[in-house]
A and B are shown apart, each in its own frame.
Chain A
């Protein structure tokens, strides 16, 4: 079980970098969806025995993060007919390097934190995913890639939460999942409207509001 957990966590990191280095939006959505699937599996492998609680959490996570949201985001780009570039403010090479730096920082910070029990990789991978999500959110200009960055950031926090699954009751976890789902859903709808109003979903065009 332990080896499997570590393998899944390594895959999560690889997918972080896949998003950083990919120029096609649909490929980015696939990577984030795969990450959602891994998160669901991790909630089964990292917690010890399979309780009803763990299985329903895993199913809920997979349904929301690997199926429903990616499907909805793909619908949004199809309707908005954007497929080409993700138009980063920072080049792919530079954002790759930023991601590597984030990974190093995550391991350095995690080494100084007290142990949470469970896999030693869980906390650094969670922190790295969180920071890489923030990097995507800040350096990408398309509103939809910013949504993907937000989802990755949430995934990082979810991974950190896995150290505490025994302690957080199912009702609350279901509420958290529901909030994330509705949040991304509302963002997706706004992305759709941005595209209709501005003929592009670049958030860089959102510059009418500022202090004079």
Chain B
């Protein structure tokens, strides 16, 4: 019992320290709340990997492979971004620091709730909370452009997430009330899948796809994404592109899990494939000729969400690749947003024409940006090569060769677009230097990205045994299998 309380602590500790950080008067205290909570969260998570915990709250909170991987993403990314944020927030007003730290900690609590919820309505509550926790962070600059971005983000995500709530209610309607079954609990939904009403179930999946798809940023529901990532501070972009979208992917994967258990894979899979391919196409179209590097990263996020949907839709090896890709994508998005953020801060603009020859001004960040470029485009020896390879060979094995070929072509186009802009930023002819210059590169700017780069590199050649086991469990829940 005591060991299961760790699940509650993973959610409650960040929620409580968010309140403490909001009330903390001095920035040193806020920083220690951020880093201390991040460290404790990571330690609790590590203990879950070593010694699994049983379910609590009558099975509402429980650990399974898929949830554990998403929780790991949230925890690692939070600690890296928190470390970066401590340096980033130096010299800001106390009010800004309080809102920023509290928002980040609320995000961690909400993301933990999403990862651990096996009650789908509770998962929704966490998902909505991650959405809201990001709003004050996006509006950090307090100017007209960020105001417009936060308004679009709030309206579109709120409507999307409202549809996801409707999906949860539709799913509850599909489940017959029998004595002994717990409503909306994943295990009971899967066990009693044969008795679920197919008409309500189909409606539930369509609304879940639209709702969680909006939060993931699957095209054509992605329109908030370039504006939001373009205007939000880069570290917030990293937290959203790596953390919030992965939570939304988990929501969609949970609904897919129920549909597959009920034998409705034939209904769900074509929809997921269509959204996945369309997202890749939209990303390719807008990455070519993009003029702003933060918007470029936003479209790269649309691309990777498309790959995740594609893997889910393929099943088999594709489902395995999709779960592994969720992990890889989150790490590399954190890396890219932070180092590109460093370059943008040094150049004072995110327009591609203003960021040039950064290798001289920000040597480490610029090198890491090139590492991130090759990692995010799925080149060996990085983790994304393995996961994208699994998704594409899954397409061949599941007899979707056309899907695989179209996806490969679009990935090639995206590679060219990304490489052209990022290499130009790093290696291009530098603009005439201003006398003051941006100052030296500091350790807080590069320590976190270095850790993320090392992890992505490690996942390209070595998957720890425990991770392989959880990946296989997650893949089999999604109708797939490890290679």
Contact = CB atoms under 8 A, between A and B. Distances in A.
Interface in A55-102: none
Interface string A182-197: 1100110010011001
A211 B166 CA distance: 32
Is chain B's binding surface mostly helix, strand, loop or mixed? helix
B155 A157 contact: no
B144 interface: yes
Contacts of A134: 159
B177 interface: yes
B121 A209 contact: no
B124 interface: yes
B147 A193 contact: yes
A176 B125 contact: yes
B177 A175 contact: no
Contacts of A130: 166
B184 interface: yes
Interface in A138-161: 143, 146, 150, 153-154, 157, 160-161
A212 interface: yes
Interface in B144-192: 144-145, 147-152, 154-155, 158-159, 162, 165-166, 169-170, 172-173, 175, 177, 183-184
B374 interface: no
B48 interface: no
A206 B151 contact: yes
Contacts, number: 112
Contacts of A113: 199-200, 203
A190 B154 contact: yes
B230 A168 contact: no
B155 A150 contact: yes
A166 interface: yes
Contacts of A193: 139, 142, 147
A8 interface: no
A212 B139 CA distance: 23
Contact of B158 (A166, A167, A187): A187
Nearest to A177: B125
Interface residues of B, number: 47
Interface residues of A, number: 41
A171 B126 CA distance: 13
Given A176-B165, A186-B135, A208-B145, A153 B128 contact: no
Given A179-B129, A190-B150, A168 B183 contact: yes
B145 A183 contact: no
A113 B121 CA distance: 22
B12 to A, nearest CB: 14
A179 B132 contact: yes
B248 to A, nearest CB: 15
Contacts of A179: 125, 128-129, 132
Contact of B173 (A150, A163, A183): A163
A19 interface: no
A197 B124 CA distance: 33
A44 to B, nearest CB: 19
B122 interface: yes
B362 interface: no
A128 interface: no
A167 B159 CA distance: 24
Contacts of B154: 183, 186-187, 190
Contact of A208 (B128, B131, B144, B286): B144
Contact of B147 (A163, A178, A183, A194): A194
B119 A190 contact: no
A203 interface: yes
A137 B155 contact: yes
11 contacts: A113-B199, A134-B159, A150-B162, A157-B169, A163-B169, A164-B173, A167-B172, A182-B132, A183-B128, A197-B143, A209-B152
For the complex of A and B, the 4 pairs showing the least CB-CB separation, nearest first, are: A175-B125, A167-B183, A179-B128, A206-B148
Given A175-B125, A187-B155, 14 more contacts: A134-B159, A150-B162, A166-B177, A168-B172, A172-B125, A179-B132, A182-B132, A183-B154, A193-B142, A198-B144, A208-B144, A208-B145, A211-B226, A212-B291
Interface of A: 113-114, 116, 130, 134, 137, 143, 146, 150, 153-154, 157, 160-161, 163-164, 166-168, 171-172, 175-176, 178-179, 182-183, 186-187, 190, 193-194, 197-198, 203, 206-209, 211-212
